[in-house]
Structure 1
Amino acid sequence: MKKALLALAALTAMGVAHAEDTLKKIKDSGSITLGVRESSGALAYTLGDGKYVGFHTEMCQKVVADLQKKLGLAKLDIKYQPVTSQNRIPLVQNGTVDLECGSTTNNAARQKDVAFAITTYVEEVRIAVKAKSGINSIKDLAGKTVATTTGTTSVQTLRKHERASGVDFKEVFGKDHADSFLLLESGRADAFVMDGQILAGNISKSKNPADFKIVGEVLSVEPIACMIRKDDPAFKAAVDDSIKAQIKDGSLAKLYDKWFMQPIPPTNTKVGLPLSEATKAAWANPNDKPMEDYAKK
């Protein structure tokens, strides 16, 4: 009996230690690794030379500042690890990335592998086309070539709609969002299906933004949130508390205005996407619900 109790105590201690892994790791190392994106629209992108910017990138930098205070560290170094749609989940799982701050949809399947901070952006998946293409809805994609990005939920959305409406189109895949947009820009694809803000961001940075437009039905509504490792409630609480504080003091709304409504680098063009009612609702009632809960509405 005593041995069984000792074993149980040891397992409990291991569980507690595991639950505090990320905060302990950050405190012990004096550094945190953020997973960042190179072309995820105004949410997260690179200016080159190791400089990463965007709404989620800057929000996470504020989270890091709050973590530094919480842990009583005089200094906390930020390391930036570029991630793609394909490798972002494995890099969070294996400990390479502590906090992923890109453009990841929170869904039930992913919640089996990782945890999510509270939703900070609610996305609508749309279709980008060339302005003179004559494509105005998903039905106009019949016989066309459609680009999307490998490892994104837009692939499933596309297939679901193909079955539902009987529209037959060819799919091509970009390795990242910039690559997918290049497929559209160069004429190798007739349309690019992706999160609306990613489409708008890539259009705003193109040589001739007026050559493109976002059209068609909203294909899905998706909560976007930052990823962290599973079974680490202390770290999740610390991240969530920082984001809630940013919502409460209005700094998150100011960040949104900065990245979506004002001219942004490198071309000093505006994305021009006002804060949506769905995102306002997510901020008013902070939660980490998956997209399946949105679909039920």
Structure 2
Amino acid sequence: MRVKPLLLWVVAGALAASPAAAEDLTGTLKKIKETGSITLGYRESSVPFSYLDDNQKPVGYAMDICYKIVDAVKADLKLDKLEVKLNPVSSSTRIPLMANGTIDLECGSTTNNVDRQKQVAFTNSHFLTASRFVSKKANKITGIEGLKGKTVASTSGTTNIKQVVEANAERGLGLTVLPSKDHAEGFLLVETDRAAAFVMDDILLAGLIAGSKEPAAYEISKDSFSLPEPYGIMLRKDDPAFKALVDKATADLYKSPEGVKIYEKWFTQPIPPKGLVLNVPMDAAMKKAFAQPSDSPDPASYVAN
């Protein structure tokens, strides 16, 4: 009879020392394991990062990256299947929906900066962009100073509109800053002459111009409101286990030939739904970002040597 308690003690000790018991799942990984699902936040008009195609299906560069992360999560949790739920987000709702647990990954064109890192976390950067403006060539607006006294649009909840407001105050430009609900509406304000310019990340402006009725009628400013800034897939703050998994998945992808192929698919080849070509090949800074994956919010850290 003495043997039985001893055996029970040995078995209990072995279970307690097992990896599964010692490293109980927490945060997002626990949520995914328990629900059998992961929720991706997507944008409706952030071409080519995350947008709706002709079938109203979210597609894009950031969506492809997120699906690779989903594959890594599924493998890590040893799940036979993992349901992917899709939830639309906007510039204004993306951070609140991440913070309250509605979405698990935000697959879009979100700038990784110090202020946002106080609220959310980011994985390794997948693109670098600068804040510029688009205007009609016929209006002959030369640089930021050429916007003086004019109405300028920018999307609510973005770093861009903050930069415009700051530049307006610092330079005494006398701008009327018009918030738009999304990028498509901001560009429409320029198309319909309700705004002289729309301030947004240059790559997003390139996508909007390429998809417009008359691409040759528009131009993107050489002047910028910012240094090149990093985009990152957004996830919840203070969730180290999930972040470690996502960081490894994205780093492995970016450093692989497949990562380059995904980039080229969306930036140098025809993209849906109209077969537009953005013609934005990797520059030296992007090559460095892929070769040395980083979640740094500091634009200076991405400058190519």
Question: TM-score, normalized by length of structure 1?
Answer: 0.90
Which blocks of at least 5 consecutive residues in structure 2 are unaligned? 1-21
What are the Cα deviations for residues 32-60 of structure 1, in whole angstroms up to 9, with x where unaligned? 00010011121111115441111111111
Q: What's the secondary structure of 1:219's corresponding residue? A: coil
Q: List structure 1 runs of 4+ shifted beyond 4 angstroms.
A: 16-19, 292-297
Q: What's the secondary structure of 1:148's corresponding residue? A: strand
Instruction: Check the 8 A contact 2:289/2:302 in 1, yes or no.
Output: no
Match of 2:262 in 1: 255
After superposition, the CA RMSD in angstroms is 2.0
Call closer, same or farther: CA 1:150–1:227 in 2, change over 3 Å.
Answer: same
116-125 or 273-282: bigger deviation: 273-282
Shift of 1:278: 2.3
What are the Cα deviations for residues 205-252 of structure 1, in whole angstroms up to 9, with x where unaligned? 111111111113122121110111111111011111111111122212
Counterparts of residues 108-119 of structure 1 (less than 5 Å): 108-119=114-125
Q: Counterpart of 1:248 in structure 2: which amino acid?
A: K
Identity of aligned residues (%): 45
Counterparts of residues 1-297 of structure 1 (less than 5 Å): 20-47=26-53, 49-220=55-226, 221-291=228-298
Call closer, same or farther: CA 1:189–1:17 in 2, change over 3 Å.
Answer: farther
Call closer, same or farther: CA 1:235–1:295 in 2, change over 3 Å.
Answer: closer
Shift of 1:188: 0.7
Instruction: Check the 8 A contact 2:46/2:204 in 1, yes or no.
Output: yes
Call closer, same or farther: CA 1:207–1:31 in 2, change over 3 Å.
Answer: same
Q: Counterpart of 1:88 in structure 2: which amino acid?
A: R
Call closer, same or farther: CA 1:18–1:276 in 2, change over 3 Å.
Answer: farther
Number of residues of Structure 1 aligned to a counterpart in Structure 2: 282
Structure number with bigger Rg? 2
Shift of 1:61: 0.7
What are the Cα deviations for residues 85-135 of structure 1, in whole angstroms up to 9, with x where unaligned? 001001000100001111111111111111111111111111111121101
1: CA distance, partners of 2:146 / 2:249 = 44
Which blocks of at least 5 consecutive residues in structure 1 are unaligned? 1-15
Q: Counterpart of 1:290 in structure 2: which amino acid?
A: P
